[in-house]
């Protein structure tokens, strides 16, 4: 007698409403919102971080950027759903690929995020213009640029530059050219390291563009970018913000520590995960923020001079 049970397809269990809700939240990748902290850089370096209105405008710009970045992640996941289902890790961790969230539900969430951005246009139009450029860049990345070597790395890096520019637009303050170049170099470093780890861990199976790279090549990209970030940041400090010289050792240590996490602890595929999982990196970022606040306190000479008077 033939066992018919062997030919009966497995019935998929529909995720519970709570699991679907958690899946929708995960689909927006809230952990990646840490990257949008770059929006607050102009708030710090302009010395307006004690002004309530400036803080409000900067936080609003960051919130809008979080909304925009979540929308781009959803578009990317919808586009890559079939490829993610074949991936051993993404098939379990991506809500769409894992079947926790349906495509129609993702589209509804995407529409809601777009509606929030449209509403933001009436509150912060200059910021939304930058965000529109960011979203257009990411759509081009999702469908074309992520398959092109070198262009894919620069596209990721330009996203960080646009974050800084959005923060400047929110405050209506000029941003030093040094800051833009430093941000670009730092972002190129993070993007190159990300590609390096993807390449070394998956051997080119995770992304088609990885087949066109080698570990030694992206290592050179990362080294050059890290050197550029340190040099340009130091020049920015020496020429425009000499009180910030105390932060240069922290930046240098952060670059060293991040490379250690990448090489020895096999992190770096996700800069956010690397930051949140390594207490020394996290402490370095906190110390850098505190040192910047100390040095850039809105009185001549920084917080120390303010306290002494």
- Residues 78-107 pLDDT 10s: 998 988 888 777 788 889 988 899 999 999
- Whether residue 77 lies inside any domain: the answer is yes
- Whether residue 222 lies inside any domain: the answer is no
> Which pLDDT score, from 0 to 100, does residue 174 have?
86
Q: Across all residues in the chain, what is the average pLDDT?
A: 87
- Whether residue 193 lies inside any domain: the answer is no
Q: Residue 88 belongs to what domain range? A: 32-147
Token pair 């607050």 in the structure block, residue: 40
Q: Helices 151-171 and 52-79, interaxial angle, to 10°?
A: 150
- Whether residue 55 lies inside any domain: the answer is yes
- Whether residue 141 lies inside any domain: the answer is yes
**Which letter, b or e, does each residue of 230-268 get, where b requires 16 or more Cβ atoms within 10 Å of its Cβ?**
bebbbebbeeebebbeebeebbebbbebbbebbeeeebb
pTM: 0.86
CATH of the domain at 143: 1.10.357.140
Please report how many Cα atoms fall inside a 13 Å half-sphere around the Cα of residue 154, on the Cβ side. 6
Tokens (6 digits) for 291: 């040192």
- Whether residue 263 lies inside any domain: the answer is no
Domain count, the chain: 1
- Whether residue 59 lies inside any domain: the answer is yes
pLDDT in tens, 166-218: 999 999 998 788 889 999 999 999 999 988 888 887 766 667 888 889 889 99
> Which pLDDT score, from 0 to 100, does residue 269 have?
63
**Spatial CA neighbour of 153 closest among 89, 203, 73, 217:** 217
pLDDT in tens, 123-159: 999 999 999 999 999 999 989 999 999 999 999 999 9
- Whether residue 154 lies inside any domain: the answer is no
């Amino acid at each position: 007698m033939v066992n018919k049970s062997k030919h009966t397809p497995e019935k998929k269990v529909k995720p519970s409403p709570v699991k679907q809700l958690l899946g929708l939240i995960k689909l927006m990748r809230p952990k990646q919102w840490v990257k949008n902290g770059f929006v607050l850089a102009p708030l710090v370096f302009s010395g307006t971080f004690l002004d309530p209105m400036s803080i409000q405008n900067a936080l609003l710009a960051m919130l809008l950027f979080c909304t925009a970045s979540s929308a781009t992640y959803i578009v990317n996941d919808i586009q890559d759903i079939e490829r993610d289902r074949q991936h051993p890790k993404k098939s379990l961790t991506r809500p769409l690929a894992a079947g926790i969230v349906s495509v129609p539900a993702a589209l509804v969430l995407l529409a809601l995020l777009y509606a929030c951005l449209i509403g933001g246009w009436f509150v912060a139009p200059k910021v939304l213009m930058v965000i529109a450029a960011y979203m257009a860049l990411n759509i081009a990345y999702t469908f074309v640029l992520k398959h092109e070597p070198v262009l894919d790395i620069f596209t990721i890096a330009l996203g960080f530059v646009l974050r800084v520019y959005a923060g400047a637009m929110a405050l209506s303050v000029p941003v030093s050219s040094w800051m833009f170049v430093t941000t670009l170099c730092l972002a190129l470093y993070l993007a190159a390291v990300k590609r390096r780890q993807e390449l070394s861990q998956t051997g080119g199976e995770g992304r088609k563009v990885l087949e066109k790279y080698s570990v030694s090549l992206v290592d050179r990209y990362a080294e050059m970018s890290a050197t550029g970030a340190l040099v340009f940041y130091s020049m920015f400090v020496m020429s425009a913000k000499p009180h910030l010289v105390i932060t240069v050792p922290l930046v240098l240590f952060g670059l060293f520590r991040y490379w250690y996490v990448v090489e020895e602890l096999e992190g770096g595929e996700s800069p956010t995960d690397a930051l949140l999982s390594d207490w020394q990196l996290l402490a370095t970022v906190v110390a850098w923020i505190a040192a910047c606040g100390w040095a850039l306190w809105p009185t001549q000479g920084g917080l120390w001079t303010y306290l002494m008077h």
